[in-house]
Amino acid sequence: MSITSPVRTALRSTRVLSTSSKTQLINKRPVLDRKMSTSNTPNFDFPERRPSSEEKALVDDVLNLYKLNPISSAYSHYSPDAQFHDPIGLAKGLESIKAQFNSMPKIFSASETKGVKYLDNPAVKPPSVQISLSQLYTLKGSGSQKLVNSLVTFHVDPSSNLITQHDEEWDGKPNSTGDDGFFGKINEFRKSATASLVNMGADTTPADQK
């Protein structure tokens, strides 16, 4: 898949950095009145709804990772064997996820959340939660910016209330996996390799523990 945005440029920068220095309980979901939303964040064909206090607390904490603030309270919501999957990376295990997000401040000078919508998707059952996220990234050096609209799903284990799978789909387009045939397997291997390169040079210590 061709990626021409600054995010791809950022990925290249991360690869260079990594290589040179050896070096991601509610049962009801009330639908939200659309008039309450003033954001241009897309709905991806799902109605918007009100979050529960538990959902909002989880999402607010985890969004610190997207805002270049990888603190321990954000990582506390993940299980030790959690996975993070986006179009350019597949991080397996919490330490690998920490490496992905802790590396972002090396690439971006700023990352601002422009909009969040909680979505009412019947396929995503509580306590899991799905949001639409609009994030504005500013690349270091050039200062170029890119607004990324993503469908983000936090798959939460009801027995532990911890995230076991964190999926980010740019523009709501599904990430390829090994189940998508030959090219899906190749792409999944490439993304795992990319995550490994990032891990080599990343400090996985939360920012508030340094």
CATH of 6-209, one of 3.10.450.50, 3.40.50.10330, 3.30.360.10, 3.30.70.890: 3.10.450.50
Pick the more confident residue, 41 or 196. Answer: 41
Residue type, 87: P
The answer to whether 150 and 137 are in contact (CB under 8 A) is no
pLDDT tens digits for 14-25?
433 333 333 333
Q: How far apart are CA 110 and CA 184, in angstroms?
A: 32
36 by Cβ neighbours in 10 Å (0-12 / 13-18 / 19+) ranks as exposed
First to last CA, the chain: 37
Residue from 101, 100, 94 nearest 65 by CA:
101
Model confidence pLDDT, tens digit, residues 27-59: 444 444 443 344 699 999 999 999 999 999 999
Q: Which amino acid is at 71?
A: I
pTM of the model: 0.73
Instruction: Say what the pLDDT of residue 204 is.
Output: 73
What pLDDT, on a 0 to 100 scale, did the predictor assign at position 26?
33
How far is 99 from 128, CA to CA, in rounded Å?
Answer: 24
